[in-house]
Amino acid sequence: MKRANTGKSQARSGKVRGRIHPAWLVFIGCLGFYSLVIGFLSNTAGNYYEPVMQETGWSRFEATIFTVIMPIVACACSPFSGKILNRFGPRTVLPACVIAFGIAYLLTAVTRGLWSWILFGVVYGATSSFIMYLAVPVLINAWFAKRMGLLIGIVGASLSVCAAIASPLTTFLIGLLGWRCARVVMGVTVTALACAITVACVRGMPDTLGVAPYGAEEDASCNTRKRDALRTRGARSDGAQPPQTVEARSEGVSAAQRASAHADARGVEASRAMRSPAFVLLLVSAGCFVMSATLCQQIASFGAESPHIGAVAGAFAVSIVSSVAIFAKIFLGWVSDRYGARVAARMGAGCGCMGALVMLCASGVPAFFLGAALFGCGYSALSVVNPLATKDCFGPRDYTRIYARVTTAVFFFNAIGASAYAVIYDVTGSYAGMFVMVIALYATAFLIVPLAISLGSKLWK
């Protein structure tokens, strides 16, 4: 009995000996519902456009109609996704999202009407409001008392790796089997694997399971030592004995549990946060990052149009952006853990701004590639800086509800981003205006993210 109680105490304290802490299983689960589904299925949408149009005779608008519907539906669902995730729990919601996405994905391959692609766009948008931007930061924030930034960066990097593998694999399968069979093979395989990993690894929130987050004991011990040192110094100055700490008097309740409960209570209530200027600035900065990242889709065309760059170098520059982003996501996450989200935001926005400027002014391929590498750092900030800045701004208290609203802004600005680029090109007849806009957007994010964090942190209780 004593040994069993010891095991339970270790689990509650956030330090589990002899077995893996459940937080690491949750981390693996994030790779399932996020990296596999988005990397292998969502990010390969462009591989199917031409085969679908050739077989069906549809226009490009009809073949890509789901990409128009998806961000609109996601934007509409995002304000409610945080509440739903809290109400039903990630272990129920996330497998349901993976299954629903997989069924809608397969339906487009086995039917011949446009209606299935419209339905796929609706389901894609609804499920994306959970799995694309929200679930990973929420789970990592809940289950890890330390290294949140690094782990979010690793999950984001794994998505980029999956996408890099998925594109040539999908093209190969389409050439070998046809687009319908290729879509069935990819859909069944990825959905089954992602669902199995999600069901096996994703857990509910640690407070509902009686488990402290990973690293909570270390943080609690550090905080306890600091408080004890302050009390001891105060008692010695008065000539009295040091008072016995609350931690020493408490029996059956671990320091990590108290620290975890205290940490979860710190921060700003969602209703108060959403009425603050800091929240508005956070929404604007999220829009700046997502609209700037959309420039990646225009780099190849810009290179092809430029007499100094060429089509081949332009296409290769896109690969440079994606490759650099793999490592930059991890690096920015580490920077956020070490120095705070405001430093990571300035680093990402600064690199993105310089990268766009260098590419715009490049008179040769080497300089263009350098700009693409710098832009890759800014590109990676979209999936790393937004969730970390939200936590630094408003704390963990109502993180899920607050960040769900931030993702609403991400989907909204993503929906208008492509149209904004198209309008700029139609009006100016050049890609230069797009790069100027991106430079301005990154400069705006560079300035307002630290301001948002400063204003938001003043609201903490």
The verdict on 33 and 116 lying in the same domain is yes
Mean pLDDT is lowest, of 186-195, 225-234, 353-362, 415-424, for 225-234
The verdict on 325 and 203 lying in the same domain is no
> Is the residue at 229 inside a domain?
no
- H-type helices in 269-310, by residue range? 270-273, 277-293, 299-305
The verdict on 186 and 275 lying in the same domain is no
What whole-number percentage of the chain has pLDDT above 70? Answer: 85
> Is the residue at 217 inside a domain?
no
- Full residue range of the structural domain in which residue 390 is found: 266-457
The verdict on 179 and 66 lying in the same domain is yes
> What's the farthest any 2 CA atoms get from each other in the chain?
90
**What pLDDT digit, counting tens, does each position of 197-220 carry?**
999 998 888 877 778 888 776 554
What are the residues facing 367 on neighbouring strands? none
> Burial, 379: exposed, middle or buried (Cβ in 10 Å; 0-12, 13-18, 19+)?
buried
**What pLDDT digit, counting tens, does each position of 28-68 carry?**
999 999 999 998 998 888 888 888 888 888 887 888 888 88
- pLDDT band at residue 233, thresholds of 50, 70 and 90? very low
**2 vs 192, residue with greater confidence:** 192
> Burial, 84: exposed, middle or buried (Cβ in 10 Å; 0-12, 13-18, 19+)?
middle
For residue 14, pLDDT beyond 70? no
Block residue for tokens 């790069």:
435
For residue 79, pLDDT beyond 90? no
State how many domains the chain has: 2
The verdict on 100 and 29 lying in the same domain is yes
Q: Enter the pTM of the model.
A: 0.80
Q: What's the mean per-residue pLDDT of the chain?
A: 83
User: What is the rounded CA–CA span in Å between residue 15 and residue 221?
Assistant: 12
> Is the residue at 216 inside a domain?
no
For residue 228, pLDDT beyond 50? no
- pLDDT for 219 equals 54
> Is the residue at 236 inside a domain?
no
For residue 222, pLDDT beyond 50? no
For residue 257, pLDDT beyond 70? no
The mean pLDDT value for 125-144 works out to 90
- Angle between the 277-293 and 341-361 helix axes, to the nearest 10 degrees? 40
- pLDDT for 218 equals 59
Contacts of 119 (CB under 8 A, 6+ apart): 104, 107
User: What is the rounded CA–CA span in Å between residue 144 and residue 128?
Assistant: 23
- Are 407 and 133 within 8 A, CB to CB? yes
> Is the residue at 140 inside a domain?
yes
The verdict on 170 and 301 lying in the same domain is no
For residue 333, pLDDT beyond 70? yes
The verdict on 178 and 325 lying in the same domain is no
What CATH number is given to the structural domain containing 274? 1.20.1250.20
For residue 2, pLDDT beyond 50? no
User: What is the rounded CA–CA span in Å between residue 113 and residue 400?
Assistant: 38
- pLDDT for 265 equals 61
For residue 22, pLDDT beyond 80? yes
- pLDDT for 3 equals 45
What are the residues facing 144 on neighbouring strands? 214
User: What is the rounded CA–CA span in Å between residue 239 and residue 232?
Assistant: 10
> Is the residue at 88 inside a domain?
yes
**Is the Cα dihedral 222, 223, 226, 231 positive or negative?**
negative
- pLDDT band at residue 9, thresholds of 50, 70 and 90? very low
Q: Which of 209, 244, 277 is the last residue of a domain?
A: 209
> Burial, 169: exposed, middle or buried (Cβ in 10 Å; 0-12, 13-18, 19+)?
middle
For residue 69, pLDDT beyond 50? yes
**What are the backbone dihedrals phi and psi of residue 44, each rounded to the nearest 5 degrees, phi first?**
-100, 15
User: What is the rounded CA–CA span in Å between residue 296 and residue 306?
Assistant: 16
User: What is the rounded CA–CA span in Å between residue 108 and residue 65?
Assistant: 12
User: What is the rounded CA–CA span in Å between residue 377 and residue 398?
Assistant: 29
What is the radius of gyration, based on Cα positions, of the chain? 24
For residue 13, pLDDT beyond 70? no
- Are 203 and 4 within 8 A, CB to CB? no
